[in-house]
Every structure is written in structure tokens, then in C-alpha cells.
């Protein structure tokens, strides 16, 4: 169990390095942060689907990453960074208060789930529904699909 906790900590720390390497306010920095969230959601999804066994340390690390990332993500959209990112809708800067509120809600929901940590795969699935609704709502309003 200690190995899993150490491995989870290494993964989370490694994800943090990615955001440091990318210049703040660029598509790369925004993408690096979203990849952290996506990786965390992916780890939880594997547990919820039964592809990986339930592991409280993995769930804690994922929720912590989501919470911490949600707190800093809006800072990547300062005035003057509106250009050069084809995935970021101009609505972000037009409705910055709503954008920040959505990020804050994602962070807050992740913290609430962390405080009452799901005890099994079904609980992780329920947590993903809550977090996924936050992510989906923000993407629907503020992300331009580039694929």
C-alpha cells in the first residue's frame, strides 16, 4: 500500500512539472493543466469501470489534482492572452466571472468529495458524474472544438 501512495505522489508531482514548463497563459500551459485533470479523471474512470481495483490513494491523488488545478486554471486566461489559442472561446474573457465561478465549483466539488472519500468503485462513479457535469458545462460554454 505504501508503494501505491508513493507512486500516486510521484505521478501528481510529475504532473506539476508539466505546468511549470509551459509558459503561463499559452495554449500549452492551458493544455498541460487540462491534461492533469484528464489524467486524474481517467484514473478514477478506470476504477469506476472496474478496469483497476479500488485504491483510496489513487482516488485521493486524483481529487487533489483536480481541486488544485481548478484553483489555478483561470489564472491562465489573463487579459492579453485572448489570441493564439484556437480552443479557448472569446466568451472566457467576456464572461470571466462565470468562467472563474465554474472553475471554483469544480474545485469545491472535488474537495467535498475528497472530504467524504468514496469507499468503492460505485462511489467513484458517482463522484465522476458530479465532476464530469462541471467539466462538461464549462467545455460546452468556453471551449471551441478543434478536432
Annotated binding site for heme c: 135, 138-139
- Binding-site positions read 135, 138-139
Return the residue matching grid coordinates 487533489.
64
On whether the CB atoms of residues 110 and 37 are closer than 8 A, the answer is no
What 3-state DSSP class applies to 146?
A: coil
| C-alpha span between 90 and 96 (Å, rounded) | 10
What stretches of 1-147 adopt beta strand conformation (E)? none
On whether the CB atoms of residues 32 and 17 are closer than 8 A, the answer is no
Amino acid at each position: 500500500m505504501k508503494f501505491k501512495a508513493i507512486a500516486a505522489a510521484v505521478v501528481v508531482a510529475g504532473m506539476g512539472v508539466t505546468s511549470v514548463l509551459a509558459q503561463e497563459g499559452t495554449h500549452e500551459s492551458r493544455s498541460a493543466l487540462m491534461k492533469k485533470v484528464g489524467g486524474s479523471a481517467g484514473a478514477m474512470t478506470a476504477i469506476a469501470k472496474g478496469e483497476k481495483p479500488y485504491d483510496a490513494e489513487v482516488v485521493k491523488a486524483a481529487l487533489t489534482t483536480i481541486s488544485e488545478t481548478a484553483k489555478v486554471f483561470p489564472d491562465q486566461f489573463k487579459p492579453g492572452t485572448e489570441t493564439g489559442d484556437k480552443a479557448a472561446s472569446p466568451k472566457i474573457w467576456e464572461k470571466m466571472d462565470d468562467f472563474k465561478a465554474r472553475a471554483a465549483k469544480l474545485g469545491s466539488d472535488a474537495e467535498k468529495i475528497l472530504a467524504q472519500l468514496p469507499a468503492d468503485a460505485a462511489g467513484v462513479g458517482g463522484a465522476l458524474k458530479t465532476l464530469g457535469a462541471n467539466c462538461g458545462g464549462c467545455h460546452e460554454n468556453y471551449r471551441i472544438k478543434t478536432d
